[in-house]
A and B are shown apart, each in its own frame.
Chain A
Amino acid sequence: MSVRTAMPNLLARVPGVAIALIVLCTVFGLVSARFATPTNIANILVQSTILLLLALPMTLIIMTEGLDLSIGAVLTFASIILAVIVIATGSFALALSAALAAGLCFGLANGVLISVLGIPPFITTLGTLGIAQGLSLLVTDGQSVVGIPRSIESIYSGRLAGIPLPILIAALAYAVTHILLYHTRFGTYIFALGGNREALKIAGISVRGMLIGVYLFGGLMAGFAALLMTARLNSAHPTAGVGMEFDAIAAVAVGGTSFERGNGWLFGTLLGVLAVGVLRNGLNLLAVPSSAQVASIGALVIVALFIDGLRSEP
């Protein structure tokens, strides 16, 4: 229940991630003349879309006390499927369906292994990470897949009514996830699942079905993220999504979703993704040495959680 009240109490209890984001924007805005330009803001938003597509389902997954380490590798695999099929057949619709199907297959496998066989999420998805990565390497023999029709590139670089397409796709994904989490029975059960699994079972809800649904959603979003990634690179590469799962998990955690008790906050995840994007962009604009950039990502994660820790102190 405490989650529901987190929204109205927003002003009274500004979360760590919002503070971090405001501080970052203020500092970068003051120091770099180019930071707060419309071009750069659009740039940051577009760059953040792929990570957001992964972080949205990750929020739901973490709320069920789960985790999906395979999501970056599944994105990579789906991207390769998309590229290979569109090159072979020339049909975008077929290629996209195959990519989404690949994502859904991995989501289904994750969900079944976790809920039916009872293998812990961390290890299930560590295993499927290896499988997706291995398949990507085997299909491509380690090479980039190139020769995709130019029209696909426009999905990433195109605009509709002046707004870049990736932003529209990400906004749509956010809206769908928001409705799913806050306005459907499925969402209510997700809150309950993390908080009180037993009560849910007593109420006769199929916990297995719920879990499979959550991981399927993860696979589906990985498929859409693969579309954006392929369009962005105009190619598919077997290492393109390496490590993105941890970026997504970090964004969710920075955004204030806790790993215990189904305490989730979707808008926080959005802020978390933006904080990571703003940090990287700002440091690039200022040409800060790369080693300092590496360390600053760690600092962001720890500082944001530290502030939250202080606030939740009784």
Chain B
Amino acid sequence: MRYLAIGLTAAVMFAAGAGLAANETIAVFTKNLTNPYFQAVRVGAEAAAKTLGVKVDQYIPTKPDSIPEQLSQVEDVIVKKPDAIVFIPVDYKALVPAVEKINAAGIPVVNITDRSAGGDFVSFVGADDYGIGLATATDLLKAMGGKGNVIILEGVKGALSNTDRVRGFNDALKEFPNVKLLASQPANYQRLQALQVMENLMQSFPTIDGVMAANDPMAVGAIEALEGANRKALVVGINGSKEAVELIKSGKLLASGDFNGFIQGCIGVEIAVRNLRKQPTPRELILKPAVIDTTNFSSYETPVEARTCPTLDQVASP
């Protein structure tokens, strides 16, 4: 028992000691430890922190996307009083009380990725999910020559990103009257579920020419299902993950909408720090939708760890 206690103390001392050097501390909240998108956000936040000379503490629910746990973490962090918070709510409606608590504690907070339905923010930084969905789907529909049959693989029902992306898909379809939407089924942003949903849908539909997936893992699941059945279809996803870039390079994936977590992490921290240092900050920053495909994938091949943060000015002025 004594050894356990000593071990614990040592471990904890180490963890605490690491934090004493920096001047300002920024607490960054992301949704889970498993989705590469949030990893990119965290890497971006760390990169910005290094440049700006601040310290970043990462808070991630141990149960992926757990609402009560993120709320508890916010409460714990308020006790700790960081200088600023960069916040991605696991649910844009249910975490409003958490934001209100941060507001009440007087800690400035920057909202990134998913726009919270309430509370006061220094600013919001996000991608335009609708625009990305529209642009990515348009890429696919053009590549299909404006005719054929498509399937939509939806993400988690009720998630704002999913609603907007799927709306973008559907609006793109309206521009191509000769393309028929066969089915729009949820696979909850999960790879294995997308694989199995796709396998089942292929039984119902003998000809599928295109697949629009609301994120990259589902697109990859669909590709595996198609390959397994020896069938061909053009597939697009969203997120611009490392895996997607590799697949675009090898010609298996047509395109991926660039959701750019790295830049969102960078800019979120930068705005938080600018605000602390009384420099001007934008109220809102929506990154321009971009689609990664065979024409431009090479600029995305640099792994996120090796990328450098763009400055606020670079992102703000196109």
Tell whether A pairs with B. Answer: yes
User: Which chain A residues lie closer than 8 Å to B33 at the CB level?
Assistant: 290-291, 294
Are B77 and A284 neighbours in the complex by a CB distance under 8 Å?
A: yes
Instruction: Give the distance to chain A from B226, nearest Cβ to Cβ, in Å.
Output: 27
Find chain B residues with CB under 8 A from A43 CB: 75-76, 79
Say yes or no: is B315 at the interface (Cβ < 8 Å to chain A).
no
Report the bound CA distance from A31 to B14 in whole Å.
Answer: 10
Q: Which residues of B, 61-79, contact A by the 8 Å Cβ criterion?
A: 61-63, 65-68, 71-73, 75-77, 79
Residue contact A23 to B62, C-beta cutoff 8 Å:
no
Residues of B within 8 A of A26 (CB): 5
Instruction: Check A19 against B1 for contact (C-beta < 8 Å).
Output: yes
User: Whole-angstrom distance from the CB of B12 to the nearest CB of chain A?
Assistant: 5
Q: Does B106 contact A (CB under 8 A)?
A: no
Chain A residues numbered 290-309 whose CB sits less than 8 Å from any CB in chain B: 290-291, 293-294, 297, 303, 307
Q: Is the CB of B62 within 8 A of A290?
A: yes
Alpha-carbon distance A15/B199, docked complex (angstroms): 53
Contacts of A282 in B (CB 8 A): 12
A258 at the interface (CB under 8 A from B): no
Contact residue range for chain A? 35 or more
CB contacts (< 8 Å) of A242 on chain B: these are 63, 66
Q: Are A240 and B94 in contact (CB under 8 A)?
A: yes
- Check B311 for interface membership: any CB of A closer than 8 A: no
Complex interface: chain B residues within 8 A of A241 (CB): 68
A261, CB-defined interface residue at 8 Å: no
**Interface of A, helix, strand, loop or mixed by DSSP:** helix
Interface-located stretch among A62-70, A124-132, A228-236:
A228-236
- With contacts A31-B12, A239-B67 taken as known, whether A287 is within 8 angstroms of B57 at the C-beta atoms is yes
Among A15-46, those with CB < 8 Å from B are 19, 23, 26-28, 30-32, 34, 37, 39-40, 43
Closest B residue, CB atoms, query A240: B67
User: Would A297 and B62 count as touching, CB distance under 8 A?
Assistant: yes
Answer yes or no: B19 CB below 8 A from chain A CBs.
Answer: yes
Q: Does A286 contact B (CB under 8 A)?
A: yes
Q: Does B158 contact A (CB under 8 A)?
A: yes
- Of the listed stretches A137-145, A206-214, A266-274, chain B binds A137-145
B158 touches A142 (CB 8 A): yes
> Per-position contact with A for B73-112: 1 when CB-CB < 8 Å, else 0?
1011101100000000001011111000000000000000
13 A-B residue contacts at CB 8 Å?
A28-B12, A30-B9, A141-B157, A142-B156, A143-B93, A232-B97, A233-B68, A233-B94, A238-B158, A287-B15, A287-B27, A288-B12, A289-B58
Q: What residues of chain B have their CB less than 8 Å away from a CB belonging to chain A?
A: 1, 4-5, 8-9, 12-13, 15-16, 19, 27, 33, 57-63, 65-68, 71-73, 75-77, 79-80, 91, 93-97, 117, 156-158
**Beyond known contacts A141-B157, A142-B158, A290-B33: 4 more, CB 8 A cutoff:** A238-B158, A286-B16, A287-B15, A307-B1
* Partner-B contacts on A (CB < 8 A): 19, 23, 26-28, 30-32, 34, 37, 39-40, 43, 47, 50, 137, 140-144, 146, 153, 229, 232-235, 237-244, 280-282, 284-291, 293-294, 297, 303, 307
